[in-house]
Amino acid sequence: MKKLLTMIIYILVALSISVTAFINLSPQFGSNPTVAQKRLYANYSNYENGEFQNIEEFIMMTEDMPMSEFFRDDSNRIPNKDLIHEKIDLESFINIDENKVKVSWLGHSAFILNIDGYILLLDPMLGQYAAPLPLPSLKRYSSNIAFSIDDIDSIDAVILSHDHYDHLDYSTIKQIKNKVKTFFVPYGLGNHLKGWGVNQESIIELNWDESANFNGIEFVCLPARHFSGRGPLNRNSTLWCSWAIKSEYGKIYFSGDSGYGNHFKTIGEMHGPFDLSFIDCGQYNVAWKYSHMIPEEAVKASKDLVSDYFMPIHWGAFTLSTHPWEEPVIRAINHAKKTNQKIIAPKLGQIILLGDDMDTKIIDWWNSY
């Protein structure tokens, strides 16, 4: 019996060492903040006991949910066929013309924007798996996105909200890193980028309520109610955030991932009104209600932000919860109508022109899948 216990202990130790070595040696898991960075962060009000903190109460899991429920085979959780993106004519999209702000949704929380000729990417998770390993259950709904990265020569700025795999993708960063002039990120996230070969000079890290100007565009790093981490040992070691993107041609809000909270009203009062708000509206569950909003809360947040138009995001690419894949947009549309909130739900890859005449006609394209 003693020999058996000893053997089990040896196996567990060897397994632990192997897993730790795999995580440390695999670049997709990213990098941790340095001791010097942690000392710097300790001066900030949103950093305590070695971790970044939320403004309001945050509970990771409010109730138990069996893992078997998450991985249960349910045909409603994924489309019944490959989601097709409308192809973007990049030459036309990149051109400077009378349409000063062009927007195209690439699924989940990823966007490509043209603001007065400057090309921006928001949370460009363009890879096939929302995980460090190719897990079939976390595969993208679309085999191809609206354009090929190879066809873009230059990207002026990449804006990142936090370091989770469905927002910060190692394979995408490796593809675009030599094309990007500047990365705007919350504190700590730059370490991941540097570890993947991005030059330090190309990275601007910000704390909440700090801003940076880029060719007449102001990027304001703002609070969100969420968490961070790419491995079991670096939870909340990097900051998470939302963004206000301001230019003379309009204001856009990008929520990143967030549970509902008072920060939306504060942001609306300080930085609103917004012409268009992209708001987290999918992959929700009562078990993690503090980190993701249900659609009705997303509509409420859009009103708190004083948003002219609201667009539900964080759906249409991956299954990361237990609800039907198209439920977020359906519930959001229904509640927006009840509360007189203007809403758009474009097709994947469809180009939206920012302005007073944005088309609010809803084409329920998801019913084709």
Which positions ≥6 away from 8 have C-beta within 8 Å? none
In 3-state terms the chain splits into helix, strand, coil percentages (rounded to 5) of 30, 20, 50
Q: What angle do CA 133, 136, 137 make, to 5 degrees?
A: 105
- Which residue did the predictor score with more confidence, 135 or 66? 135
Sequence spans of domains, the chain: 31-368
226: its two tokens: 């969420």
Residue 136: cis peptide before it, omega within 30 degrees of 0 = no
Q: pLDDT tens digits for 206-242?
A: 999 999 999 999 999 999 999 999 988 899 999 999 9
Residue 70 has what pLDDT?
Answer: 62
Q: pLDDT tens digits for 33-68?
A: 999 999 999 999 999 999 999 999 999 988 776 666
Mean pLDDT across 140-165: 97
Mean pLDDT across 327-345: 97
DSSP 10-44: HHHHHHHHHHHHHHHH-GGG--PPPHHHHHHHTTS
How many other CB atoms are found less than 10 A from the CB of residue 71?
12
For 4-18, 70-84, 227-241, 261-275, which range has the lowest pLDDT when averaged over its residues? 4-18
- Which residue did the predictor score with more confidence, 12 or 145? 145
Pick the CATH number of 31-368 from 3.40.50.2300, 2.60.120.10, 3.60.15.10, 3.40.50.620: 3.60.15.10
**CA-based end-to-end distance of the chain:** 57
Residue 361 has what pLDDT?
Answer: 75
Q: What angle do CA 183, 23, 106 make, to 5 degrees?
A: 40
Q: pLDDT tens digits for 91-103?
A: 999 998 888 999 9
Q: pLDDT tens digits for 117-132?
A: 999 999 999 999 999 9
Find the length of the chain.
Answer: 369
Residue 19 has what pLDDT?
Answer: 41
Say if residues 312 and 328 touch (Cβ distance below 8 Å). Answer: yes
Q: What is the pTM of this model?
A: 0.93
Nearest to 125 by CA among 161, 156, 152, 89: 161
Residue 166: pLDDT band by 50, 70, 90 thresholds?
very high
